[in-house]
Structures are given as structure tokens and as C-alpha cells.
Amino acid sequence: MRHTRAHRCAAAVVAAALPLLGGCGIQETDPIEAGGPATVEAFYNRNDDMMLFFRTPEGAVTPVIRSARPSAGFGGDYVEPNADTTPGPPPTEKTVMALLAGPMREDRAAGLTTALPAARPGTTAEVASSPGGKVTTRLPLPLRGLDTTALRQLTCTIAYSLAADGQVEVELTGQDGATTSGTCGLAPGPAG
């Protein structure tokens, strides 16, 4: 009998507390709009960074800033001993090879991918400027079969590697002898 009385007392306490907890004086409100998606402001230092272009989930290309100079991981300007400390922008060949290495884990986590195949180990890109401001890049991969997104990734990465405003005409030549040219603002035509 005592066991039953304890249950009745506990039930009475819970029943009395529920209306008190439910009415804590907080009024129900409608959802509040907080604006558009967040944006991130990134700082691009042409002397220390590379700007690579990767494919977004929507199929467009977007820039990703990647440090070209190794550091000890402490932030700031510390550079490891014996690191490449040549002043000026990183070589375009190095930037192209970083693009062909594909997105890093944090880029993939953000939904970025690439339309480009990986370059074979031990290969490199060759970049040469010609009269009139055109830049020719010999790629370590075939050009035929690359889609418009892949060509734009290459063109924009090379253009921004060479000029702060990306206003450079880029001619691409693949291992297969195919060529195409264009600017970052306009998608280059299909490889021929």
C-alpha cells in the first residue's frame, strides 16, 4: 500500500509541475528571416598564393586560394628553412600542376570538384608568353575530350596566375596536339 501511495504522490507532483513548466512566460513567435547565405572575404596575396579554379556543385567554376609557400603551420609569415623563397608570384607551371592535383580535402568538403584528369607523376606544364600578350601552355595531358568546365578551370587558373585581373588570352596545347584558346571571362571553345 505504501508503494502505491508513493506513486500517487509522484504523479501529483509531475501533474502540478507540467502547467508551470509549459507556461514559462515565453510567447510563440514566427520565424525571423536572417538574410542570405554567409560570405567569406579572402585575401589573395599574389606573391605567396595561387588562385586555382574548381567546379562548384552547380557546375560553375570558383576560385580557391592556396598557399604556394610552405609554412610550419603557425600562421603568420614564417617560412620553413630551405623553402622556395623566390620573390614574386609562384611560377605558373607550379600553379597548373597544383590545379591538376585536384581539390584538397577541405575543398571537397565544401562541395568543390574538378572536371580535369590528374596529371601523370613526373610530368609538368610548360608556359611561354608570345608577342601580343598571348600565353601558350603545353599541358601534360590530352586536350581532346575535356569539357567546357575543364577548359575554363585551366584558362582561369593560368590567366590569374599571370595577371592580377585575369585579362590574359590563354592558348592551351595538349599532349595529343589539340589546341584551344580563350580568356577567363569567356569559356574557351572545344578542343579541336
Average pLDDT of the chain to the nearest whole number: 77
- What pLDDT shows up at residue 3? 52
* Residue range 89-115, pLDDT digits in tens: 899 999 999 999 999 999 999 999 999
- What pLDDT shows up at residue 39? 43
Sign of the four-CA dihedral 103, 120, 46, 130 = negative
Percent with pLDDT over 70 in the chain: 65
Q: Where are the domains of the chain?
A: 49-182
Of 187, 188, 92, which Cα lies nearest the Cα of 137? 92
* Threshold 0.85, pTM exceeds: no
CA distance 104 to 127: 24
Grid cell 596566375 is found at: 161
Question: What is the identity of the amino acid at 128?
Answer: A
3-state secondary structure the chain: CHHHHHHHHHHHHHHHHHHHHHCCCCCCCCCCCCCCCCCCCCCCCCCCEEEEEEECCCCCEEEEEEECCCCCCCCCCCCCCCCCCCCCCCCHHHHHHHHHCCCCHHHHHCCCECCCCCCCCCCCCEEEECCCCCEEEECCCCCCCCCHHHHHHHHHHHHHHHCCCCCCCEEEECCCCCEEEECCCCCCCCCC
* Residue range 21-41, pLDDT digits in tens: 444 454 555 544 444 444 444
CA distance 93 to 95: 5
Q: What angle do CA 3, 5, 7 make, to 5 degrees?
A: 75
Among 2-6, 73-77, 137-141, 185-189, top mean pLDDT goes to 137-141
CB atoms within 10 A of CB 75: 7
* Residue range 143-173, pLDDT digits in tens: 999 999 999 999 999 999 999 888 899 999 9
